[in-house]
Amino acid sequence: MGSFVDEGNGGNEVTTGYVILETGEVFPGELVGERQGQSGEIVFNTSMIGLQEILSDPTYAGQIVVFSYPLIGKERIDNVFEEDKPCYIRGIVVSESCIHDGESDSLQTFLLKNGIPCLTNVDTRELVKTIRKRGTVGAVISNTPDTKPTPTKGENFIQMVSTKSVRFYAGKGPHVVLVDFGYKKSIFRSLLKIGCKVTVVPFDHPLEEIQLLQSDGIVLSNGPSNPTILTSQLQKIKTLSQLYPTLGIGLGHQLIALAYGAKVEKLQYGHRGTNHPVKDLRTGKVFITSQNHSYMVSEHTIDFNQFEVTFQHVNDQTVEGIKHKTLPIQTVQFHPEMEPGSKDTQFIFHQFFETIDCIGVVNNAIK
């Protein structure tokens, strides 16, 4: 194809590029944004909306995201909805992009500002089919078709995305400690919206120092990577969940399961999108959820003397949530704040708030 000037794109030079999989497949396209590609784990997302939230979600650290929806970038960029800064995503691949060149709120401006390579005009249908067949594999975006992906295994993305200091945010309600494994800002905003005071702490913040914060509840956030790399944190997580009402989201869900003896498995190609149907096993209702994860909790390894499964994925019957039978511990694999997506499952935060409130009433009565 070669380089050429696209007059319909404001006269900007368009360069031929490629996404090269470690399994040997090569998909050509046109490079937009940052020219120097980076290697990453290649995954696909089925969302039709929420491009900005996806690009800035820390859970995508170290990954190249392929969008299965054909036209990406129609919505404007709004700084209010950025999930985090900087962006940790390694690149995006799309079939067709709507750049809105020259505008401050354009996709191109966002890509350039954050150094994110984008490959457009790609046969994403065939690429997604390849990922489904091969599983999640390494890849690289490059301007030469013979570039080899650099392995990303062993990189500690949680260490990269987690806060390095303790941060406090005022509120009128109960005090919640948010343990940051790579939290989405929308989770944090949801906690503030329901009235919580929030203290954000690093993922490896010592147990004793968390206890000194005198919180009313604990939220274990979402985050990137394999949860088994955090075995050193499991005893702390178990202790915290026995001391305080606890909500685990995404990676936090998996870590609570691991802390109580369950195991996790890697999915063939993960759950990523805003259209994942999840059934509440207690009510029979089905909710459309937003998800972004590579690992699942193995149902047959859960201790059913202590936990019950509360949510299940309709398509593949994987575990989407668990609840302790006697302690105020609940978890969900999906994103209850639903940004991007519908607001069907925001009630999870309200249930957590009510649990904290009820326990506070009981404790005050005992005193």
pLDDT tens-digit series, residues 171-196? 889 999 999 999 988 899 899 988 99
Q: How far apart are CA 82 and CA 362, in angstroms?
A: 39
pLDDT at position 103: 55
Mean pLDDT for 149-177 is 89
| 90 pLDDT higher than 70 | yes
Mean pLDDT for 28-35 is 83
**Looking at the DSSP assignment, which residues form a beta bridge with residue 202?**
180
Mean pLDDT for 272-281 is 94
Q: How far apart are CA 181 and CA 229, in angstroms?
A: 12
Q: Which of 42-51, 100-109, 341-350 has the lowest mean pLDDT?
A: 100-109
Q: How confident is the model at residue 263 (pLDDT cuts 50, 70, 90)?
A: very high
Q: How confident is the model at residue 10 (pLDDT cuts 50, 70, 90)?
A: very low
Q: How far apart are CA 312 and CA 37, in angstroms?
A: 37
Q: Which helix (H) or strand (E) holds 45?
A: strand 39-45
pLDDT at position 79: 60
| Tens digits of residue pLDDT in 93-142 | 999 887 655 555 677 778 888 888 999 999 999 999 999 999 989 999 99
pLDDT at position 114: 84
| 261 pLDDT higher than 70 | yes
Give the C-alpha distances (Å, rounded to integers) separating 131 from 66, 117, 219: 10, 20, 33
| 278 pLDDT higher than 90 | yes
User: Which of residues 312 and 96 earns the better pLDDT score?
Assistant: 312
In the chain the domains, ranked by start, together with CATH numbers, are: 4-142 (3.50.30.20), 157-366 (3.40.50.880)
| 316 pLDDT higher than 80 | yes
Q: Which of 138-152, 248-262, 322-336 has the lowest mean pLDDT?
A: 138-152
Q: Compute how many other C-beta atoms are within 10 angstroms of the C-beta atom of residue 131.
A: 22
Q: Which of 86-90, 165-169, 204-208, 249-253 has the lowest mean pLDDT?
A: 86-90
Classify residue 290 as exposed, middle or buried by CB count within 10 Å of its CB (0-12, 13-18, 19+). buried
pLDDT at position 99: 61
Tell me how many degrees the CA angle 306-309-310 measures, rounded to the nearest 5: 120
Smallest Cα–Cα separation from 91: which of 155, 147, 39?
39
Q: Compute how many other C-beta atoms are within 10 angstroms of the C-beta atom of residue 272.
A: 24
State what percent of residues in the chain have pLDDT above 90.
67
Q: 91: which residues sit within 8 A by CB, 6+ positions away?
A: 37, 38, 40, 64, 65, 116, 117, 118, 119, 141
Mean pLDDT across the chain: 87
User: Which of residues 252 and 38 earns the better pLDDT score?
Assistant: 252
Q: Which helix (H) or strand (E) holds 243?
A: helix 234-243
| 281 pLDDT higher than 90 | yes
According to DSSP, the β-strands at 13-21 and 26-33 are antiparallel
Q: Which of 2-6, 34-38, 51-55, 256-260 has the lowest mean pLDDT?
A: 2-6
| 80 pLDDT higher than 70 | no
State what percent of residues in the chain have pLDDT above 70.
86
- Report for 12-21, 46-55, 162-171: range of highest mean pLDDT: 162-171
